[in-house]
Amino acid sequence: MKLGTIGVGNAGSKIVDKMVEFESLTNRKLCRHVMVINTARTDLTKPDHIPENRRVLIGDTHQKAKGHGVGGDVDVGAEVAKNDMDEIRRAFDDVDIHEVDAILVCASLGGGTGSGAAPVVIKELQKMYDEPVYGLGVLPGKYEGGRPALNAARSLQSFVNNTDNFIAFDNDAWRSKGQTVGEGYEGMNRELATRIVTLLGAGEYDEATTAENAMDSSDIIRTLDTNGISSIGYASTTVNNNGDGLLNRFREEHEIEDTTNSAAKINGLVRRAVNSRLTLPCEVSSADRALIVLSGPPSELSRKGLESAREWIEKEVDTVEVLAGDDPRENASALSAVVLLSNVTETPRIKAIQEQAVEAQEKIAEQEAVREEEIANLIKDKDGKIDPVI
Ligand code: GDP
């Protein structure tokens, strides 16, 4: 599909940047318009693939932001976006949105800017355009503590209530041991970009394709049209390694062995994708709809393989709403299967974040209640004999 892609906040912008990088490395044509929005001037300098004039700073006159971010305060993030809505609208005015099939807003839910400002931006986009607006959101890891969990539990409701679909990525499930946080994020963003671009970029080519079974953007829109939360599975195998170092970095973690015939290979690949680490760990059978995209050189694509994989997923997910299609890529050096599980309802991480958030909220309220008393006790002498100056 043709996508308008907007990153809000630090993580959201990095993810959009990675999507554009992966897209250009694989000659895909997904992101027709990109934009990043942030309250922190320094974070706006980080992307490598976003044009300068598509980077929007908001809140630089807000007294709690002033171009330095919102300090993880989700309410300030939302307030800043509301105050600067005219500026955000003006930035959208430059975009001929009628060229796109949908809009994707990416953000992390654990910080302040993405989790607070992105839902405000999404609400405005829903008012301005008829096209579906999807969210792509990063859930904080348990290890990050109570405040990010509280931000995420609040922001998740706003995201899901205002988007046509919310695709989730769980930092907890994707954290690798022995890496620095920065290295970890880099790898996670690459994994996420690979999945999302392979999925949403299916069916977009420079020239019209004659592929019989080609994926159409209306199939993707149909599968996402559940107003719920989605998760993505992915697996790939090299078919003709061209030694492209940069691109190989997008692959190394999910290689599988070649199998003998292409139908069996495809069937195995799709099963592998469903049983792989999902962007949001969930009970697969709780999904409402599913979609399979098989991307690779036309010679590797087998209609029989895709059909039997589709039947298998129909049983696994226990739904008749399973769509499947090819994404032929003449010069591709990998065969990839991506499976979208739409409207998954059994996801232990979301329940765990909500529990952590409730605990954090209670602790914050308790601390606020005793704070004034503690300060008064600290600055006053024991018998109240000394008066303040003013
Ligand atoms: P914001 O600019 O205020 O929205 O703040 P961030 O986007 O940095 O949000 C902080 C949350 O995002 C925390 O839960 C971090 O773990 C997570 N985070 C920050 N950077 C990345 C990243 O590059 N990738 C991923 N997956 N998560 C990130």
Read off the CATH number of the domain in which 236 is found. Answer: 3.30.1330.20
- Using the atom order of ligand 1, give the atom closest to the CA of residue 40: 2
List the structure tokens of 66. 């002033």
> Is the CB of residue 113 below 6 angstroms from any atom belonging to ligand 1?
yes
Measured in Å, residue 37 CA sits from the centre of ligand 1 at 14
CATH number of the domain residue 26 falls in:
3.40.50.1440
- Which atom of ligand 1 lies closest to the CA of 70? 3
Please report the pLDDT score of residue 251 as a whole number.
Answer: 57
**Residue 152 scores a pLDDT above 50:** yes
Distance 110 CA to ligand 1 centre (A): 7
Number of domains in the chain: 2
Domain assignment of residue 209, yes or no: no
39 CB within 6 A, ligand 1: no
Question: Do both 289 and 323 map to the same domain?
Answer: yes
For the chain, the straight-line distance linking the first and the last C-alpha, in angstroms and rounded, comes to: 65
Decide whether any atom of ligand 1 lies within 6 Å of the 226 Cβ. Answer: no
User: Residue 188: CB within 6 Å of ligand 1?
Assistant: yes
* Residue located nearest, by CA, to atom 5 of ligand 1: 111
Instruction: Report how far ligand 1's centroid is from the alpha carbon of 111 (Å).
Output: 6
- Whether residues 58 and 133 share a domain: the answer is yes
138 and 105 housed in the same domain? yes
Q: Domain check: are 90 and 157 in the same one?
A: yes
* Shared-domain flag, residues 285 and 327: yes
Residue 43 belongs to domain spanning: 3-200
- Check whether 279 is labelled as a binding-site residue: no
Q: In the predicted model, what is the mean pLDDT of residues 80-90? A: 93
Instruction: Please state the rounded mean pLDDT for residues 2-18.
Output: 97
Q: How large is the average pLDDT for residues 112-116? A: 97
In terms of DSSP bridges, do strands 133-139 and 102-108 run parallel, antiparallel, or are they unpaired?
A: parallel
Mutational test site, ligand 1, from 21, 73, 79, 138, max ligand atoms within 8 Å of CB: 138
CB of 108 sitting under 6 A from ligand 1: yes
Note the pLDDT of residue 246: 61
Same domain, 103 and 242: no
Nearest to 158 by CA among 204, 124, 201, 197: 124
* Shared domain check, 36 and 146: yes
What lies within 8 Å, CB to CB, of 245 at 6+ separation is none
Domain presence at residue 360: no
Rounded to whole angstroms, how far apart are CA atoms 229 and 137?
Answer: 10
Q: Is residue 371, in this structure, part of any structural domain at all?
A: no
Asked whether residue 113 is marked as a ligand-binding residue, the answer is yes
Nearest-CA residue for ligand 1 atom 9 is 111
Q: Dump pLDDT digits (tens) for 334-378.
A: 999 999 999 999 999 999 999 999 999 999 999 988 988 888 889
- Over residues 258-287, the pLDDT tens digits come to 445 888 999 999 999 999 999 999 999 999
Stretch 299-327: mean pLDDT: 92
Rounded distance, CA 29 to CA 13, Å? 19
Stronger pLDDT, 37 or 27, i.e. the higher one: 37
Q: How far is the CA of 8 from the centre of ligand 1 (A)?
A: 10
Cα of 170 vs centre of ligand 1, distance in Å, is 11
The average confidence (pLDDT) of the chain is: 91
In a domain, 217, yes or no: no
Q: Is the CB of 189 under 6 A from ligand 1?
A: yes
Residue 182 sits in the same domain as residue 67: yes
pLDDT at 241: 46
DSSP string, 259-319: -SSHHHHHHHHHHHHHHS--SS---GGG-SEEEEEEEE-GGG--HHHHHHHHHHHHHHHT-
Confidence grade of residue 187 (pLDDT, cut at 50, 70, 90): very high
Ligand 1 closest atom vs CA 117: 4
Name the closest-CA residue to atom 24, ligand 1.
185
> Both 313 and 195 in a single domain?
no
Cα–Cα dist 15/376, whole Å:
46
* ipTM of the prediction greater than 0.90, yes or no: yes
Mutational test site, ligand 1, from 58, 80, 108, max ligand atoms within 8 Å of CB: 108
